[in-house]
Every structure is written in C-alpha cells, then in structure tokens.
Chain A
C-alpha cells in the first residue's frame, strides 16, 4: 500500500460575492503522507482556512471544484451520511476560532462525549466520562471534573482552544487539520499540545496539516512546508530547505518580518492584501507588492517550477528578486 493519505488535485474553492464567484483557493494541488506534518503558512486572507474547510467539506455556500481523496475516497462527491462518519473519526479539525466550534449551550463534557459516540456508539455514559476526563487531562486542563460541567463562555480563550483540541484528537483521527491550534495558548501548553500532535503522528501514523502564523512552530513541527499567497501555493519544500534556502519573494519577505534582537522597525511587505474580489488573476499575484522588480522578471502565467528535488516555487521572479532600498536599510539594522 502506498504511504499517501491525502491527495488534493486542482482544488478551487470560490465564494459568491454579488453575482459572481471568486476563488479563495485557486487550483491547489498537494499530497500528504501518513506520518507526516505539512505546515501551511501564508498571508492572512490567503485562503488557508478556506482550504482546510474544503478538505473537511465544511463550507456550506462555496463552490468547490477539483478533487480531494482521503485514502482514495473522494470527499468532494461523497454522500453526506458517509462524510459524517469520516468527520470526527477518520479526519478531524482543530478550528482557528474555538467559539464557533463549540456549542454555547452544551456543557463541555457532553460536547466531547458526543464525539466519542461517533466512533463508538455503544460506549456507556460512565466510559465516556472517564475518557473525557482523560482527554481534558491530556490537553492540560486543570480541574477537569469541574470543567466537565462548565459552559464555553466560562472558560478562558486558551481553555476553550484546548477543549476543541480534545474533541479533535478524541478518536485518534488518521488526518488532523490543525488551524492555528496553539495561537491562543501560552508556550508551555503549546509545547505540550505540539507533543500530543507529534504523538498522534508517530504512534498512530496520522497525517497532519498544521496551519500557523508562528514560524517557530513550523520550524519545530513540520516535515514539509507550503507557503500560500492569494489563494495559491507559491512555494513548497522540505522544512530545512524552506528556512535555509527560501526562494519565492513572499517567503523571503515573510521570514524577514520576524522580530529579531535589537531591531527598531520590523520589515513589512509593501502595499495591502488585495480583497478577494480584487485579487489579480493574471500574471504573478505578488508582483504588485514588489513593484521595484522589473515586470519582465515575472512569468505571464506563473506555474510551480521544481528547482531542486521536492522544492517547488511559483513564477520566475525569484531569480531576479532583491529587497528594495528601504528593506535593505532594515537589513543593515539587524534583520539577517
């Protein structure tokens, strides 16, 4: 059997704005293996969550084209009853926004218990309670017996997030999509949650898609990293390669923005993130953000090029990219 867990081909997810559809995820092709962590980073609004929702088929009003295969089963065209069996059992998601993922009127213990029933409908109430307490302990929630009976609004941001994590890992899913799983958590608990995710990968052979803005988390967790900009993957590479030899101008700029010691002004990418409706659909989508680069450096229809084994980068502009004077100034001031 192959090691492939998830195969995404030419996935396009579009939202309706006014009378037209606009693609938030635009022709994404990806694979994820078992026992692999794929990190996804990218500008806010670049379509990371929309991609995650498409894989889980959670969008209710978006148009989805292309294919998503989990263990060779087509998710895009699967009947809803089969899909419901997959979700929460074979594939699970940790949502960026814990509040929308939780039912405000249901006690925490009951919400986690419900997920357990998906996998094992014959579990008794007592067995469920034991397992729920165990899960709350695993995600580092103090006083789990007490939290069992609390409602979401009575928990701190980070505690809610951990409840969502407990629900996601309850049934040892084969595919876990974690959308900013630890942003709301302090770094000690973050380390603990990341250990849990690693364990799911190593011991259960799970495949993990980890979406995060925290490049440190990516550096510590990911095997491979995909970088998204304006709905597209602009670079994908093995983790060491990405950090040591980033190529796409967006990737380079992103890494350059991380605060470093003794720096006054942080590096910023010029211009603003275009809204979905105004996304440039022709040519290099990043071109407007690096106007000092000669137009001839860009491809007319940028595609992903494999520049070395397993390292793909979109457009030819990377070969001609340099930071503008202003950002060079920043570099002198301490950004390496």
Chain B
C-alpha cells in the first residue's frame, strides 16, 4: 500500500461567459494525473508554470474540488471534503506558494503560527508562546518576531513564517509549494537541511513543488514533470536528470542556469539545439491539441508520455 496515492486526478475550473454568465467550457488545470508517494521520502513535482502543480497539491488537502479521480492516504479514500477528518487535516499540511497572500496581514506572527496549535491541541498561553518561539528559531527567525505583523518582514522572512506554521503540528505529510523560493541560498540551505533533519526524525514525507531544479535534485528521490495539466515524465532523480526522454523534460533540464558565467555561450548554444529538436519533434510528443500522451513505462521506475506503439 502506498502512503499517498493519487489516481487519475482531474480538477477542472469552469470558464464563464455569454449573457447569463453560464459555464461555456473548462480549464483542465489537472487532467488525469496519477502518482504515489512512499513514506519518509521526498517526491518532487516540477513543470511548466500553470501546469497544475499547486492545484494538485491543493486538491490533495481539500482546497480544490476534485472533478474526478481518487486520493488515497494510508489506504483510506480522502477524495471528498467529508472524508477529511480532524486527524487527517492535522496529518497533512501545506506550505503555500505565495508567502504574501497566505499570511493574514492583520494577525501577529504569534497568532499566525499558533493557529493550527489552537485548532488541534490544548496548550497554556505560556507553552504556546514557547512552542512558537522554538519554531521561529528552527526556521532562523528571532524569537522576538512573535509580536510583529507580516508586512514588517521581507519576502524571505515571510516564507519562513509559513514554514514554521506548517511544521507546528508535526504532520506526516507536508505539501511544500515553493517553500524556499524567496530565500537567499544560505537561508535556503538552512531550511532544506532542517526539512531533511525532521524528515529523518519524524519519518516525514514531502511532496515538494519547485521550479528550482537544483533544489529538486538535492532533495528528491522521485520526480514527476507536468505540462498543461498532465504528466510528461516520471522517474528517479538520476533518470530525470541524466536521461530525460520527453522533449519537454529535455528543454527543462537544458534551461537550468549555469552558475559559471564562462558557460554562458555554451549554455546558449545547447539551448538552441534543444529548441531545434523541440521544433522538429513536437508532433512526436504532443497530440493534436498540444497535450501530452499517456505515460508508457520504459523501465521499472521510468515513465514517459508517448503515443501508443503499433
């Protein structure tokens, strides 16, 4: 039994239009996505922006209505809102992508981080304050920050508040949507080291959504790549980084910026080559609507979206 299993997930958003603001069509934000997470491991979800990664994460914790498909957590069907019991809501936490809009501007940091604690656990004011200060310290913020408001922090500092909040309840699964994107690399390193440390301690599982492929490479065991609501490829870290098959995956890997400024020209030429290949082989990888095909296995762990053979 997989720890978390997502089966053929679809999340559609209605497009309204016409005279009566009727639904005239759908945005297929997530269009048939399946994957499973192993407990204690980190699974990376990457891909085009707007391809449905956040929507997938939000659907798992119940912030989006699932159009069809199933989400199983430790074998239990948790697809519907009703099935999301209190325990479950404690076990699965999310670090939200947007550190600005996900923090209530009118609340002090103490209240923001203590909110989940108050909802699920009973602590004295004293204990609560201590816990919040410990959490702040863990994410590298000074304990005196508790009486401040979100606007008094820089972008990266706010992101750490979000991380601290998600960790407050010691959940089993954390859906981390761009958890460190606003942080400088040293603080980033601090948060990533910490995420790994508590992963070992608590046997935590992460679904890590990130555009930073360096971080994905550092953190993840398995990786899924999304494009326009669908999977184009899934595999182990090595398979994805050293042997990407789908043309979109190749483009993605080629676009990773190189930290050596002397590689600029070389990198540029390489990208041009991949772009050329993309232009020429587009029809081999995308159907008439420009969508990816369904996944075919090319090894035990490696799957690529290709047209069915024969």
Q: Which residues of A contact B (CB under 8 A)?
A: 17, 41-46, 49, 96-97, 99-100, 142, 146, 154-159, 161-162, 180, 183-191, 213-217, 219-220, 222, 239-240, 243, 253-254, 257-259, 263, 265-269, 272-275, 278
Task: Please indicate the chain B residues that have their CB under 8 angstroms from the CB of A220 in the complex.
Answer: 257-258, 261, 264, 267
With A183-B211, A187-B213, A189-B48 as contacts: A266 and B193 at CB distance below 8 Å? yes
Task: Please indicate the chain A residues that have their CB under 8 angstroms from the CB of B215 in the complex.
Answer: 259
CA A155 to CA B97, docked complex, whole Å: 13
With A213-B188, A220-B258 as contacts: A99 and B100 at CB distance below 8 Å? yes
Task: Please indicate the chain B residues that have their CB under 8 angstroms from the CB of A190 in the complex.
Answer: 211, 255, 257
Question: By the criterion CB–CB under 8 Å, are B181 and A183 in contact?
Answer: yes
Q: How far is the CB of B1 from chain A (nearest CB, A)?
A: 30
With A43-B184, A180-B155 as contacts: A187 and B259 at CB distance below 8 Å? no
With A43-B184, A49-B154, A267-B189 as contacts: A187 and B100 at CB distance below 8 Å? no
Which residue of B48, B51, B263 has the most chain A CB atoms within 10 A of its CB atom? Answer: B48
Question: By the criterion CB–CB under 8 Å, are A259 and B217 in contact?
Answer: yes
With A215-B185, A253-B186 as contacts: A44 and B154 at CB distance below 8 Å? yes
With A45-B157, A272-B141 as contacts: A187 and B181 at CB distance below 8 Å? no
Task: Please indicate the chain B residues that have their CB under 8 angstroms from the CB of A273 in the complex.
Answer: 140, 157, 187
Q: Which of B48, B98, B140, B218 contacts A188 (CB 8 A)?
A: B48
Size of interface on B: residues with Cβ below 8 Å to A: 59
Task: Please indicate the chain B residues that have their CB under 8 angstroms from the CB of A162 in the complex.
Answer: 49
Q: How far is the CB of A44 from chain B (nearest CB, A)?
A: 3
Is B173 positioned at the interface, with any CB of A under 8 Å from its CB?
Answer: no
Is B221 positioned at the interface, with any CB of A under 8 Å from its CB?
Answer: no
Give 1 or 0 for each of B175-198: 1 = CB within 8 Å of chain A CB: 000100111111111101100000
Question: By the criterion CB–CB under 8 Å, are A45 and B271 in contact?
Answer: no
Question: By the criterion CB–CB under 8 Å, are A213 and B144 in contact?
Answer: no
Q: How far is the CB of B201 from chain A (nearest CB, A)?
A: 15
CA A46 to CA B186, docked complex, whole Å: 13
Nearest 6 pairs of A and B residues by beta carbon: A158-B49, A44-B156, A216-B257, A266-B189, A187-B255, A259-B218
Question: By the criterion CB–CB under 8 Å, are B259 and A191 in contact?
Answer: no
Question: By the criterion CB–CB under 8 Å, are A156 and B50 in contact?
Answer: yes
With A158-B50, A267-B189, A275-B145 as contacts: A259 and B182 at CB distance below 8 Å? no
Is B28 positioned at the interface, with any CB of A under 8 Å from its CB?
Answer: no
Question: By the criterion CB–CB under 8 Å, are B46 and A186 in contact?
Answer: yes
Give 1 or 0 for each of B119-163: 1 = CB within 8 Å of chain A CB: 000000000000000000100111011000000111111000000
Is B101 positioned at the interface, with any CB of A under 8 Å from its CB?
Answer: yes
With A257-B188, A268-B190 as contacts: A180 and B217 at CB distance below 8 Å? no
CA A269 to CA B185, docked complex, whole Å: 10
Give 1 or 0 for each of B46-62: 1 = CB within 8 Å of chain A CB: 11111100100000000
Is B77 positioned at the interface, with any CB of A under 8 Å from its CB?
Answer: no
